[in-house]
Structure 1
Amino acid sequence: MTTRPCLLVRVLVPGVLLSPNSIIILFQGLLRLRASDSASDDVGASHGAKVALSFTARNDKNVRESDNRHMAIVARSKFAKDVERASPFVVALARDDEQGFVIEPQKHTRAQLLYAVEGVMRVRTPEGMWIIPPRRALWIPVDVEHSVTMLSPVSMRTIYIDAKRAKSFGEACRLIEVSSLLRELILSLLEEPLEYALDGRGGHVAELILIEITRAPQIPIVIPWPRDKRIVTICSTLMENPGDQRSLEDWAEVAGASTRTLIRLFQKETGLHFRHWLQQVHLAEALSRLTHGDSIGEIARRLGYASPSAFTTMFRRTLGVSPSQYLQHRLR
């Protein structure tokens, strides 16, 4: 059975967590037992009846899967509203999503630190795009519209911060490093009830989370996103295939514009020259692949660099460290 996107929600039994999927599976098990009992009374059914039953079963399966998706969406929506209305200044949310699942554009009355302990996400706002592997998180200010695409199965463990407390963190999205301490603090807050006591363990953990966000190193990688359709076509293709080696002259033919027009549009729409914009895409892809354990040579090849040393030079020039040094720093 395909795992459906879901939130972790508390049931009435104290200390027990069940997901909507778990509840659905329990009911489906009962339905299968009941269907099995009914089937035993129909052993002598004709071949035509069996075909009809098979067709009906397939239809029932499609209905059940549709119901499952609906129940998961309802659970997510309800819990998201609970998070928005919660009284503590920091609240945590856990959810698991399949590869390819998309959270449609939304915005919150709280700021959000979007983080996943496993998996890679792509986040898009009206201003730009970010690739977020584990050990990195995206700070999203209050009322910033954003969508999220799961590039792999994702275990999201994200937090929401009261608007007043979030003011000091700025009004622009930014990518940060997640230290081992910040990771454990987020997981610790998830152990607390939604309405935890501010003068208890939950309140102290929440205060430490804010301190760690303040101290977190910022990663200078953002992929500014254009609005002009001609540039969007080029950027979308390069996001799907960062190693595409076509020159700006080649892209001019695809976009139906002159090379000079594309140069002007890239600068106007993204604030970067085409080469610098593509470099940001390469860095985002490289950090994601380093997290997955790809070798420097394999990453260089996939991104179209002539050699691993050429890729390392670009990486060091932008981030100040080599890929191997960056990875060692992250794992400490």
Structure 2
Amino acid sequence: MSFASDRVTRTLPALAAGPAEEPFTILGWSEDMPRDTVWNDHSHPWHELLWNERGASTAMVGPRVWTVTPVLGLWMPAGTLHSGSATAGTRCRATFFGFGTMAPLSPVPVGVVITPLLRLLLDRLADTGLAEDSRALTEAMVLDVLTPSGRELLVQMPASDLLRPIADAVRGDPGDQRTLADWASHLGVSARTITRAFTAETGTSFARWVAAVRAQHAVALLSRGWRIDAVAEEVGYRSASAFGVAFRRTTGLTPGAFRAP
């Protein structure tokens, strides 16, 4: 483990998918992050459900960046190389599923809605005094209710020299108001060239990509207790209502669903 100013870097190994030395069905992990924390590229032999009890974190697989929250978790298949980060104050949780104890929820990372029932079951499994038969029943219920969701806070990062200045600027300041035409003029190319590049590299349009980046940043602020109107202004919307419409279009949920109590 290394420190850079207030940031902690944790180094974990890259392990292939396979059974653990001590077989298990479901195990849980939780930790409060006193500092900003970064995890290197690593992989686990077991499947993993990433979620948070408090705050927002990120998980990265190649150019894809997911935001993980108490509402939206992320299924990470065994053996998938990924990295991550969490801001200070986040309470991270992960649920590990023993390789071979279940059919994989998905062969690729996929969003999972942390429903009240799923959270209740996972909290119950965190009780170290739970009787063996009760644990087995609870594990079976988790496997029954655990389902992939079309909802996820995902941004596909472009990598070309053409789009990198745009990506860096928008991720550095999600409130950046420059339009597609503004960027075309700034970079000395046509708007059509940028549009084609965004579609090819991210699978979406410039406008939708910006909206996704804004949604990820907004969730991080909402999880820290920011007011919705303040978040709307920070990520570049003229009103809370306009922000709400764009946020729902991107995530399928309202901003209030992510606001810390």
TM-score scaled to structure 2, two decimals?
0.80
Question: Is the radius of gyration larger for structure 1 or structure 2?
Answer: 1
Within a 5 Å distance, the mapping from 1:199-214 to structure 2 comes to 200-214=133-147
Structure 1: tracts of 5 or more residues without a match: 6-64, 78-82
Aligned residue among 80, 97, 100 for 1:144:
80
Q: Is the contact made by 1:92 and 1:158 (CA closer than 8 Å) also made in structure 2? A: yes
- RMSD over aligned Cα atoms: 3.5
Name 1:99's counterpart in structure 2: 35
Which amino acid counterpart does residue 174 of structure 1 have in structure 2?
V
More helix by share: 1
Q: Is the contact made by 1:141 and 1:170 (CA closer than 8 Å) also made in structure 2? A: yes
2:28 match: secondary structure: strand
| 1:321 Cα deviation from its structure 2 partner | 5.6
Aligned residue among 284, 289, 298 for 2:216:
284
Name 2:91's counterpart in structure 1: 155
| 1:253 Cα deviation from its structure 2 partner | 6.2
More strand by share: 2
Q: Using the alignment, how far apart are the partners of 1:171 and 1:158 within structure 2?
A: 18
Q: Is the contact made by 1:157 and 1:187 (CA closer than 8 Å) also made in structure 2? A: no
Greater Cα offset, 146-155 or 180-189: 180-189
Aligned residue among 239, 247, 260 for 1:315:
247
Structure 2: tracts of 5 or more residues without a match: 14-18
Give percent identity, aligned residues only: 25
Q: Using the alignment, how far apart are the partners of 2:249 and 2:55 within structure 1?
A: 27
| 1:104 Cα deviation from its structure 2 partner | 0.5
Q: Is the contact made by 1:94 and 1:190 (CA closer than 8 Å) also made in structure 2? A: no
Name 2:16's counterpart in structure 1: none
Q: Using the alignment, how far apart are the partners of 2:43 and 2:122 within structure 1?
A: 21
Aligned residue among 104, 119, 126 for 1:183:
119
Name 2:54's counterpart in structure 1: 118
Name 1:32's counterpart in structure 2: none
Q: Using the alignment, how far apart are the partners of 1:142 and 1:302 within structure 2?
A: 37
Within a 5 Å distance, the mapping from 1:267-306 to structure 2 comes to 267-306=199-238
Name 1:80's counterpart in structure 2: none
2:41 match: secondary structure: strand
| 1:238 Cα deviation from its structure 2 partner | 1.7
Query: How many residues get paired?
Result: 254
2:27 match: secondary structure: strand
Q: Is the contact made by 1:290 and 1:327 (CA closer than 8 Å) also made in structure 2? A: yes
2:174 match: secondary structure: coil
2:119 match: secondary structure: helix
